[in-house]
Structure 1
Amino acid sequence: MNDKARQNIHEYLAEFEDIPGTRVYTAARARKGYWINQFAMSLMKPENRERFKADERAYLDEWKISEEAKEALLARDYNRLLDLGGNVYFLSKLFSSDGLPFAEAVSTMTDMTWPEYRQMMLDGGRSPQGNRSIKGGY
């Protein structure tokens, strides 16, 4: 890849950061969140869910997860986890372990209550107006 193509790909990827309320799951995010996502996938096994629920911190300390990510996991700060490379579909294993339906858990990532979020989705989702660009404000 030549320097011009490399610059273009970086410019292209940088545009993903301009989408309001969205974190595009790129290869860089996947690398960054590898251990968060591996932990989440471990919760597919009942014995791991039991161990995690018995002592969440001790279970997390078995993983190569940053302290910042461990704190976000313990706080169920899903937006922070997405910033740290968590994938919402992997994190759904944590939602499920907590007994939360997917849509209800996702509503916690918005500025809406669960009933407000549910109604917004039933009404067709968010309007694209004002949700297309952070920099451009449209």
Structure 2
Amino acid sequence: MAEAAVGRVALMSIHPAYARAILEGRKTIEFRKRRLAADITHVVIYSTAPDQAVVGYFTVNGQETSSPASLWRDFRDQGVISEDDFFAYYAGRSQATGIKVGEATRLRNVLPLSDIGVSRPPQSFQYLPRDRFAKVLAAV
């Protein structure tokens, strides 16, 4: 199902609590300091320590970029983050991006990064070749 609509894919490092919230459908916006390319259709979720594994992926339903205050006002109920942590993350920045989470899919078997040909976790995110995303889809 997801394969038919796959454009470019990003691999994103996400803290475990937020990764779980996305996969459970409680977090419907992922806050970032910069936008993804406009043609990104899927984000592969790498859950950082202590998990250190690819745990799932989600479709991208658009992005919103504005001031941190405006982004907080519009999406605070969808982000599963405290106001203090949100504004600490964006301290000193004039722009903030919210990636709208579409359908989230949890992997049946989590994958180490090496299984998808990645040697180390991205600092924030990196683009992932489609053939590597196929390995993620195979783990659903």
TM, length-normalised to structure 2? 0.25
Structure with greater contact order relative to length (CA < 8 Å, sep ≥ 6) = 2
TM, length-normalised to structure 1? 0.25
The structure richer in helix per residue is: 1
